[in-house]
Amino acid sequence: MGGRRRLLLFVSLAVVALTASSCAYYKGALDARDSGGGVPWWCKSSEEIPVTSGPAVGTVDWYAGTHKAPLAWDQCLAMSVQFDAGKKFAEEWPTRGAAEADGWREITGYVPGMGTHHARGGITPAMLNSPSFNRQNPILDSVGLDDKFDVSTPDVLQFDGNGANARLVGYDYYVRTNTGRPPEGFPGNLDWWHHHPWICHRKTDAAMIAFNTSDANCTSLGGINVNLSNYYMLHVWVLDDMKFLPDVFAGQIPCISGGTAIHDPNDPCHFSRTGTTTASLKTGPGGPLTTASASGPSFVCHMEEAARTTS
């Protein structure tokens, strides 16, 4: 079966699975296509910040020399369905308190540009202190960190502060591969994954206390240095009040700072890193003030919409 046909089949099946749930991105992409315009903002990210830029990341840029390009319509529709699925899952925990009450735990504290990182499972003190734990090549399937890219169940949630009322700002995927490269991920070439090769975990509570440090330094801090170079992370910014239009997969966004975040979708921080807003971003098909926006309607997927993808 050809790639285009597989994508269309995926969209049709996913739409059926999402019936009676919010499908704003899918509906937004359909409306943009049927209006004769270009693909919406989430299907044409143009920011190309190297994945080696940012806190605690590795030194290998797998995307060096490549460039992002707008997705084809079949790719855009497929990715839009994937966004709706991941978003629906993440929004089950709108606050940090709700997430922690349901088994999510903080793995890194608040960082400007990202917020916190919370995961279900992950490395535990028992694992770190077990003689059988292979810190050089850990296989973490049993604690929810595996080699599966499942768009419907993001692996990490992000919140905008350290209190129980801190609000959800985004979600991540964290996937292991054995190829020395990030997973295939979403359709097209917009999703630039990054990794954190070495993470020092404190023995007593498995908290991440240092990144890309030496074994000796990690030991002096009461930790165990774990090789996580085969695990890759991707941020997704599609929540109604926490988009970043230059790059839906940006590593960091300017709306998260000062121990909190700006949830107003009309604030310039959602449109650029310079704090300016352009009319084309605010008003085009699929823009934040029209389709798939915080102030817009909540759409429901129907079978007839799936049929439109093959027209």
State mean pLDDT over 135-146.
93
pLDDT at 166 over 90: yes
Confidence (pLDDT) at 144? 87
State mean pLDDT over 138-144.
92
CA distance 235 to 242: 12
Kindly state the percentage of the chain with pLDDT values over 90. Answer: 77
Single out the residue of 297, 286, 296 nearest to residue 40, CA to CA.
286
Kindly state the percentage of the chain with pLDDT values over 70. Answer: 82
Lowest mean pLDDT of 74-83, 190-199, 242-251, 282-291, name the range: 282-291
State mean pLDDT over 233-246.
98
pLDDT at 15 over 60: no
Confidence (pLDDT) at 278? 54
Q: Is 91 exposed, middle or buried (0-12, 13-18, 19+ CB in 10 A)?
A: middle
8-state DSSP, 95: B
Q: Is 149 in contact with 184 (CB distance < 8 Å)?
A: yes
8-state DSSP, 230: T
Confidence (pLDDT) at 276? 67
Confidence (pLDDT) at 31? 96
Q: Which amino acid is it at 270?
A: H
pLDDT at 10 over 60: no
Q: Which amino acid is it at 242?
A: M
Q: Where are the domains positioned within the chain?
A: 3-195+230-308
Q: Which residues of 114-138 are buried (b: 16+ CB within 10 A; e: fewer)?
A: bbbbbbbbbbbeebbeeeeeebeeb
Confidence (pLDDT) at 68? 97
pLDDT band for 284, please (50, 70, 90 cuts).
very low
Q: Which amino acid is it at 204?
A: T
Report residue 70: phi and psi, to 5°. -55, 140
**Nearest-5° angle of CA 279, CA 285, CA 287?**
55
Task: Provide the token pair at 178.
Answer: 């054995």
Confidence (pLDDT) at 59? 96
State mean pLDDT over 189-213.
96
pLDDT band for 130, please (50, 70, 90 cuts).
very high
pLDDT at 292 over 50: no
Give 105-127 pLDDT, tens digit per residue.
999 999 999 999 999 988 999 99
Task: Provide the token pair at 34.
Answer: 């049927």
pLDDT at 244 over 90: yes
Lowest mean pLDDT of 17-26, 69-78, 252-261, 276-285, name the range: 276-285
**Cα 47 to Cα 4, 54, 106, 244, distances in angstroms:** 26, 14, 29, 11
Q: Compute the mean pLDDT over every residue in the chain, rounded to the nearest whole number.
A: 86
* Higher pLDDT among residues 55 and 47, named by residue: 47
